[in-house]
A and B are shown apart, each in its own frame.
Chain A
Amino acid sequence: AQRVTQPEKLLSVFKGAPVELKCNYSYSGSPELFWYVQYSRQRLQLLLRHISRESIKGFTADLNKGETSFHLKKPFAQEEDSAMYYCAIFGANNLFFGTGTRLTVIP
């Protein structure tokens, strides 16, 4: 069965510091993974997806099949990155979300 684990509920970093939000998954097939973000008082929105291999707002995520991980990274955190981040895996025609990590960037 599909499962996504985000081990950190809260993560605080200083502005300009690197940030890494962890995501581990379990899936029997070839996974399609996503990161969603929810800024304060805004809707849940797609940040990036594995299949497009793009960088959005300076964030990247690499799929590591050996470690079954899809960590989200950004080299220099900005205050506007403070938000709730959810890792999700696609399976059975829907998304399975992790429990989320709240990122706070300290000025």
Chain B
Amino acid sequence: DAGVTQSPTHLIKTRGQQVTLRCSPISGHKSVSWYQQVLGQGPQFIFQYYEKEERGRGNFPDRFSARQFPNYSSELNVNALLLGDSALYLCASSLEQFLDQETQYFGPGTRLLVL
């Protein structure tokens, strides 16, 4: 198993544009979480999806949205990009809904640069 995969690995966009990031969880995992990691900071929670439903949302504006597909893969969309959206976006999957007993497995991330 390749583990959690994310695409693309790198992305350059300009302010005002829209971006879609993709994540494939480990086979059999039903929960996907998204995190934003700005340079020099720890990951910050954006969304959790479980069984195609949003189960948690962090303190991010409505420009950020996500969805989970029937095969449990997920997309993160960011509209009207700002310079401050430049970050590493991490996806993590867990077998069931991420509660304290579950283990999250992280992907390699997508590095987004907004110019």
Residues of A within 8 A of B (CB): 4, 32, 43-46, 51, 86, 88, 90, 92-100
CA distance A86 to B44 in the complex (A): 12
Q: Tell me, rounded to whole Å, the shortest Cβ–Cβ distance linking B109 to chain A.
A: 8
Set of chain A residues within 8 Å of B55, measured between Cβ atoms: 93
Q: Tell me, rounded to whole Å, the shortest Cβ–Cβ distance linking A24 to chain B.
A: 14
Given A43-B106, A44-B90, A93-B48, verify A98-B42 contact (CB < 8 Å): yes
Set of chain A residues within 8 Å of B44, measured between Cβ atoms: 97
B41 & A99 in contact (Cβ 8 Å cutoff): yes
A43 & B56 in contact (Cβ 8 Å cutoff): no
A93 & B90 in contact (Cβ 8 Å cutoff): no
Q: Is B97 an interface position by the 8 A CB rule?
A: yes
Q: Is B68 an interface position by the 8 A CB rule?
A: no
Residue among A32, A86, A94, A96 having the largest count of chain B Cβ atoms under 10 Å: A94
CA distance A98 to B100 in the complex (A): 17
Count of interface residues, chain B, beta-carbon cutoff 8 Å: 27
A90 & B56 in contact (Cβ 8 Å cutoff): no
Q: Tell me, rounded to whole Å, the shortest Cβ–Cβ distance linking B106 to chain A.
A: 4
Known contacts A43-B107, A94-B48, A97-B43, then 9 further A-B pairs from the complex at CB < 8 Å, ordered by chain A residue:
A4-B42, A43-B106, A90-B99, A93-B99, A94-B33, A97-B35, A97-B42, A99-B41, A99-B42
A44 & B43 in contact (Cβ 8 Å cutoff): yes
Given A32-B100, A45-B106, verify A95-B3 contact (CB < 8 Å): no
Set of chain B residues within 8 Å of A32, measured between Cβ atoms: 100
A94 & B45 in contact (Cβ 8 Å cutoff): yes
Q: Is B28 an interface position by the 8 A CB rule?
A: no
A93 & B106 in contact (Cβ 8 Å cutoff): no
Set of chain B residues within 8 Å of A99, measured between Cβ atoms: 40-42
Q: Specify the chain B residue showing the minimal Cβ separation from A92.
A: B56
A46 & B3 in contact (Cβ 8 Å cutoff): no
List the 5 closest pairs (A to B, CB-CB), nearest first.
Answer: A97-B42, A32-B100, A94-B45, A93-B56, A44-B106
CA distance A92 to B47 in the complex (A): 11
